[in-house]
Amino acid sequence: MNTLDRSKISRGFIRKSALLIVLFALLIPAPAMAAETQGMMGLNPTTFFLLFLVISTLIGIIAVLAGVGGGVIFTPLMMGFTPIDGLVIRGTGLFVAMTGALVAARPFLKRGLANIRLLYFAAVPYALFAVIGALLAVYIKQTMGVTGEAYVRLALGILVILIAMLFIFAGNRIEYPEVKHVDGFTKRVGLAMAYWEESLGSVVQYQVTRAWLGMILFAGVGLVSGLFGLGAGWAMVPVLNLVMMAPLKVAAASSKVLIGIGDTAAIWPYIMQGTIFPLFAVPCMIGLILGTIIGAKIMLRVRAGFVRYLIIGIMFLSGARLIQQSLTMLGYL
Amino acid sequence: MQEVDKKVDSKPEPPFAGVVYGEITYWVVLAGMLISLSGVIMILTTESNYIDSACLLNDLWAGKDPGEIWETCTGVHEEGHWYLNKLNTGDGIAMLGIALSCLAAVMGVWLSSFALLRSREMLFFVFSVITAIILTASSTGLINVGH
């Protein structure tokens, strides 16, 4: 999809979204709002909905400008800076990462940019271990209580700081990696494909390699994603691009589609345990998708470098806060 | 640098299985989003709610775990597909929309696997069926942790 198409789609979507929000506001009669019982911190449910809609929109905008998925910021930020239960936030984090990825997948598949063979090859370990991760999260909550929550927060805090460091030190991705040798296993699986590269005006036929290593790494990424309720683009793109040597565009597109599949597998154990509350999940989902679209629109006009450092700062702060919370819960602070 | 084939100047057709998956997930998620938004509008504007909103917000902000929130606000800890019996309430409709969005990839992968079978990509058909089985088992609660 070229920039013009994307811009037209974004304009259309923003217009439709704005219309939806206006309709939504008009549908809420003022007397009903006034009559509502006050909830959290004196906020009524409508104000709560709008507050989280705005917060999630901002997270979506910042995430896009920094080139990451919203899920990776949503979960640590909400866990670090709101008192809401960790399991509720992780389930909601998975839900928002999943819906964002599913909506974004369509153009990548329509253009043949996402490699369907690579997708299903990676989806088996990724989805399987994402479910295991989600089950583990519920199991820890049920059997270990506060201590389990403290260890999850500690591990997530360390992970978020590591991801922030990954953004600083491992930024060198390769647009068209050179595949010198394709191992026997990858050859037998047959993951090579071709796509039309608009900027070159030609077909790019590419190979991938080290499929066996990719499979192991996808399992690990799935486990982390399901356990902590994070999107997995931060790990998936490097695995596809730097380990399996897929072209950068193919890696980014395939990663987006894969997150939709893996997070779908992981979200259900959270739903089955009743951890998703619509009044919290729906504004976060709509806000993050809206933010992603608005962010893509304003991306052309701002300095991405500054936003990248802003997001790295947010991640360090969230990570440090999560570690501090866990140490307090364990009685060390 | 990967091989850039300058001789081939026609765009390759995108794999049908991918297009099927992309279209299904996109429209099902969109439908789910609209249903869930309608449910939330109902929660905010009518009295026909299953979970008391003020109680939910208070308990959420008090950091209570999901089981406690359910117990306090509805008297029962709802699990599984609870919303199917509460479709006359805003919460039930909103949760139905969320569940529909979460089913988008399950439907997409199953139908995409049939497209792979039709194009005789047998190995990837097997991979897609395994993925579809994992997603189905997860969404039906076959893979779950006991309480």
How confident is the model at residue B55, as a pLDDT? 92
| Complex ipTM | 0.91
* A110 with B65: Cβ contact below 8 A: no
CA A301, A306, A309, A315 torsion-angle sign: negative
Q: Which two tokens stand for residue A249?
A: 């565009």
Are A215 and A61 in contact by the 8 Å Cβ rule? The answer is no
CA A169, A175, A177, A178 torsion-angle sign: negative
How confident is the model at residue A26, as a pLDDT? 43
- B18 touching chain A per CB within 8 A: yes
CA distance A293 to A6: 10
CA angle (A151, A152, A156) in 5-degree steps: 115
Q: Which of A98, A84, A169, A16 is nearest to B58 (CA)?
A: A84
DSSP of B30-80, one letter per residue?
HHHHHHHHHHHHHHHH-S--SS-HHHHHHHHHTT--HHHHHHHHHSS---S
* B57 with A110: Cβ contact below 8 A: no
Tens digits of residue pLDDT in A276-299: 999 999 999 999 989 888 887 777
Residue from B9, B48, B98 whose CB has the most chain A CBs within 10 Å, to mutate: B98
Side chain identity at residue A294, one-letter code: I
CA distance A232 to A265: 13
* A85 with B77: Cβ contact below 8 A: no
- A10 touching chain B per CB within 8 A: no
CA angle (B94, A133, B111) in 5-degree steps: 60
DSSP assigned state of B5: E
Tens digits of residue pLDDT in A115-155: 999 999 999 999 999 999 999 988 998 898 889 989 999 99
* B66 with A274: Cβ contact below 8 A: yes
DSSP of A180-191, one letter per residue?
----HHHHHHT-
Cβ contacts of residue A208 below 8 Å, gap of 6+?
A115, A118, A179, A182, A186, A191, A192, A214, A240, A244, A245, A246
Among A28-32, A303-307, B65-69, the range of highest mean pLDDT: B65-69
How confident is the model at residue A293, as a pLDDT? 85
Q: What is the pLDDT along chain B (147 residues), one digit of tens a residue?
A: 455 444 456 788 899 999 999 999 999 999 999 999 999 999 999 888 899 999 999 999 999 999 999 999 999 988 889 999 999 999 999 999 999 999 999 999 999 999 999 999 999 999 999 999 999 999 998 877 654
Residue from B28, B53, B55 whose CB has the most chain A CBs within 10 Å, to mutate: B53
Are A86 and A149 in contact by the 8 Å Cβ rule? The answer is yes
* B2 with A36: Cβ contact below 8 A: no
Chain A residues close to B99, C-beta within 8 Å: 271
**Buried (b) or exposed (e) across A107-135, using 16+ Cβ within 10 A?**
bbbbbbbbbbbbbbbbbbbbbbbbbbbbb
- A103 touching chain B per CB within 8 A: yes
- B6 touching chain A per CB within 8 A: yes
Are A258 and A122 in contact by the 8 Å Cβ rule? The answer is yes
- With tokens 């509502």, the residue in question is A36
* Nearest CB partner across the interface for A83, out of B62, B99, B134: B62
Tens digits of residue pLDDT in A218-258: 999 999 988 988 878 788 888 998 899 999 889 888 988 99
How confident is the model at residue A166, as a pLDDT? 81
* Nearest CB partner across the interface for A48, out of B13, B23, B57: B57
Are A98 and A289 in contact by the 8 Å Cβ rule? The answer is no
* A269 with B138: Cβ contact below 8 A: yes
Tens digits of residue pLDDT in A100-110: 889 888 988 99
How confident is the model at residue A12, as a pLDDT? 55
Alpha carbon of B57: minimum distance to chain A alpha carbons (Å)? 5
Tens digits of residue pLDDT in A44-78: 899 999 999 999 999 888 887 776 778 888 988 89
Tens digits of residue pLDDT in B92-114: 999 999 999 999 999 999 999 99
* Nearest CB partner across the interface for B104, out of A45, A102, A196: A102
Chain A residues close to B26, C-beta within 8 Å: 102-103, 105-106
Alpha carbon of B58: minimum distance to chain A alpha carbons (Å)? 5
Q: Which two tokens stand for residue B54?
A: 């003020």
Calculate mean pLDDT across residues A24-48.
57
CA distance A270 to A277: 11
